[in-house]
Amino acid sequence: MLTVIISMKFFDLHCDTLYRAISENKNMNDSDLCVTFEKIKQFEEYQGCFAIWMSDSIYGKDAFNLFKLFINKFNLEKNKYISNSEELNRKIKIFLGVEGGGILGGELSNVKEFYKSGVRIFTLTWNGSCEIGDGVGVDNAGGITDFGIKVIKELNLYNMTVDVSHASERLFYDVYEIFDGAFIATHSNSKTVCNHRRNLTDEQFRIIQKRGGIVGINFCVDFLNDSGNANIEDIFNHIDYFLSLSGENAICIGSDFDGASLPKELNDISKIGNLYEFLLKKNYSEKLVDKIFFHNARKFFGKISF
């Protein structure tokens, strides 16, 4: 399958490979992982965000100390496999995201530390509550907290991107009201196509679009249809529906590799060419598919300092 993707450019807004490598005591070139440095070397160009997930049950200094463990692991592995190669540094660009505001440890000053460590996307919550606000899994969820408002302003100061995947609807609309800039949903699908709490309503998608943001299509089977037995056609259905909302310039990929149960046709990054070819067979133009797979995300993050 690697031969299929050599000529492709791919930008992935969300994978959980770093968390899985740490939790399973693997190195980041272990072939059991969906994403490895060896696999992404096969692309013509690869850019993407490796997420640092934080459980809702971890707070304070414990959360921030765990963050540092992730950073140390990432830097060690990246230096080992990529940093010493001029060719790989040219065609592979990896930045970090944090998933769950509890990772700040309740300290606003840690935003600066995150930026210095290479974090460029900040997912405000996971499914539960944190100091910033409530996620989609909270009953009678509230919105943003006073601390959360300060965090968003601080993220803006450091040109870090606000991510509303996992945010409750109230938190989403609070971000819309208090933040004038573009924000994104790194790994969320259409609630019209699949009525899952993690997906976006049409209005939410249009708001992100209007602000100049982007949305990453998630391969998690639970977010694709209601059967729990999704396939590549279901992924197409979400893309096609967002296109019907004039989403050509907003749709990207946020695979959730190494973080979810995925369709067998796309359960490894080496199989991503299957989706590329599938969309072409659906009579999407090569220009459109390239926008979805790479150029929309690259344009949004064009000014990022990696």
> Could you give the percent of the chain with pLDDT greater than 90?
91
Give domain status of residue 166, yes or no: yes
| Residue (of 123, 143, 305, 284) closest to 216 by Cα position | 123
Residues 6 or more apart from 47 whose CB is under 8 A from it? 10, 11, 12, 92, 93, 94, 294, 297, 298, 301
Give domain status of residue 10, yes or no: no
Q: What share of the chain is helix, strand, coil (3-state, %, to 5)?
A: 45, 15, 40
Give domain status of residue 159, yes or no: yes
In the predicted model, is pLDDT for residue 51 greater than 90?
A: yes
What one-character-per-residue DSSP string does 188-241 give?
--BTTTS--TTSBPHHHHHHHHHTT--EEEP--GGGT-SSS---HHHHHHHHHH
The pLDDT value recorded for residue 305 is 62
Distance (Å, whole) CA 191 – CA 202: 7
**Range of 100's domain?**
15-300
The whole model's pTM is what? 0.96
In the predicted model, is pLDDT for residue 209 greater than 90?
A: yes
How many domains is the chain partitioned into structurally? Answer: 1
Q: What is the mean pLDDT of residues 188-209?
A: 98
- CATH code, 230: 3.20.20.140
Please tell me whether residue 49 adopts helix, strand or coil conformation. strand
Give domain status of residue 113, yes or no: yes
Enumerate the β-bridge partners of residue 16: none
pLDDT band at 59 (very low <50, low <70, confident <90, very high): confident
